[in-house]
Amino acid sequence: MDEVDSKLARMNDKFNDKLNKLDKLDELDSKLRNTASANSLAVKQLDSRLNICEQSVKNNSLRFYGLKENDNENVPELISSFVTSALKIPCCMTDINFAFRIDLTKERYKILLAAKEKYGKDKVWTTGGRIYFLKDGKKLLYTPNDE
């Protein structure tokens, strides 16, 4: 009988040991889930901040449409040449700080396209990275959730 009691005691110890390990795994899983959730929120906040920073870099700019795109082009030179010849305003490359082929960030450009689809391209425009539209004769700021 002592032998059976001894085996039962060892089995009980092993069971309790396994149970403690499961509790520790549950604790670790809970911590990982909380960390993943916090990281997901942090990533969303960083994405938002990055989009704002990208857009602020693009403020105070001029937008030119219809300039033919060529491989290996020098965009500041292209803009300088266009401004001088078409607009008759003397402009050299040193007058241009930055020149890009696109004005809005990818995210805001997608939003612009959605707004144009919804309200019509003649009623939607951008200023300073913000997207506006006309509705019932009123100028409104567009957000992707507008219905």
Residue 42's Cβ-side half-sphere holds a number of Cα atoms within 13 Å equal to 6
Q: Which residues pair with 138 in a beta bridge?
A: 135
**pLDDT at residue 58, rounded to an integer:** 67
Q: Which has the closest alpha carbon to 80: 65, 66, 97?
A: 97
Which tokens is 76 given?
């500041």
- Structure confidence by residue, pLDDT tens digits, 1-18: 788 778 777 887 887 787
- Structure confidence by residue, pLDDT tens digits, 34-65: 777 778 888 888 888 888 877 776 666 777 87
**pLDDT at residue 142, rounded to an integer:** 84
Q: Which has the closest alpha carbon to 51: 97, 101, 110, 99?
A: 110
**Residue 110 pLDDT > 70, yes or no?**
yes
Backbone angles phi, psi at 3, to 5 degrees: -65, -40
Backbone angles phi, psi at 127, to 5 degrees: -145, 125
The stretch 70-75 carries a mean pLDDT of: 86
Neighbours of 9 (CB within 10 A): 10
pTM of the model: 0.37
Q: Which long-range contacts (CB under 8 A, 24 or more apart) does 13-19 make?
A: none
